[in-house]
Chain A
Amino acid sequence: MASPQEIDAFLAGAERRAFKQAVYAVRDHHHALDIVQNAMFSLVERYREKPAEQLPLLFQRILRNAIHDHFRRARVRDFWVRLVSPLRDKDDEPGETLESLAGHLESPQRDGPEQRSSGNEELAIIEAAISELPARQREAFLLRYWEELDVAETAEAMGCSEGSVKTHCFRAVAALAEKLKNKGISP
């Protein structure tokens, strides 16, 4: 069983990457914080009895589910909004809301003054490339190479086969190579 100190230490080391993962997925700073908060609550509330060495994989599964829940709730919310607002203006489509525009501004593609230096520009391009990957490819790439899970753990976290993980990773790397090449970035 993980002690509160072990859980705290684990979350302290994982929270920034978890936040970034959520940002890459939902492209919204505030929603990403909500997702991380829910994931932290779930981990502490439901899995505090688990050994500390199981926390990284459990947290990744919880985080992934929290991101999926976010999109599911957004779809349900959109369904109800459309149902109760039949006369809604056609220009008021999802993606055009103030919230989504704010999210867009806070996405990795922003072009603020702090990102205009070449290093920051390169980081912004790479983060944008990650964010633009198909969801499964992004998940596989981040879990396998950023979180440094092995193929079996990545497959377990994603709920798919090891072969699928390898395929998603291969395609993600190929897509990233193409995007970075087009932007003139070399390792």
Chain B
Amino acid sequence: MNEQEIIGSVTRALHRGTRELDAATIARLSALRHHALTHADAPIRDGSGTLEWPLQHVWIAALLVILLLFAGWAYMRQQELTSGVETDLLLLTGELPPGIYADRVFAPWLQGYRR
């Protein structure tokens, strides 16, 4: 089987395949062509539903997710720092509730905190 014979055989079969497309597909293609020719100015919608925007702007969506995660981490960090300052103030001013000295874990914690 030489090259030209193979090419001829395959392309003849492919042409036959297009001729023998089912009627529903042929009608659909014709309708699509008509629609394209008459509504070409309308915007083409590739996606659907609420995921359409992130699907089409994946990098922007990924950046937004990263920014949200970073903002969450920064907020938690700020909360920890604020909590540390409040603890320092309570220790320095001696305004700790008396009951805390009865807590068995307070003394070890306080030693670690001073270090």
Contacts and interface: CB of A to CB of B under 8 A. Distances in A.
A binds B: yes
Interface of B: 1, 3, 5-11, 13-21, 25-26, 28-30, 32-33, 35-37, 40-41, 44, 46-47, 51, 54-55, 58
A146 B12 CA distance: 9
B1 A16 contact: no
A98 interface: no
Closest 5 CB pairs of A and B: A187-B9, A40-B36, A44-B40, A187-B5, A16-B18
Interface residues of A, number: 47
B25 A29 contact: yes
B16 A80 contact: no
Contacts of B40: 41, 44-45, 48
Contact of B14 (A48, A76, A127): A127
A52 interface: no
Given A36-B32, A173-B3, A73 B55 contact: yes
Q: Main SS of chain A's interface residues?
A: helix
A20 interface: yes
Interface of A: 4, 7-8, 11-12, 15-17, 19-20, 29, 33, 36-38, 40-45, 48, 69, 73, 76-77, 79-80, 108, 122-123, 126-127, 129-130, 141-142, 145-146, 173, 176-177, 180-181, 185-187
21 contacts: A15-B32, A16-B18, A19-B21, A20-B14, A20-B21, A33-B25, A33-B28, A33-B32, A37-B32, A38-B44, A44-B36, A69-B46, A73-B46, A76-B55, A80-B55, A122-B13, A123-B20, A126-B10, A145-B7, A176-B6, A180-B10
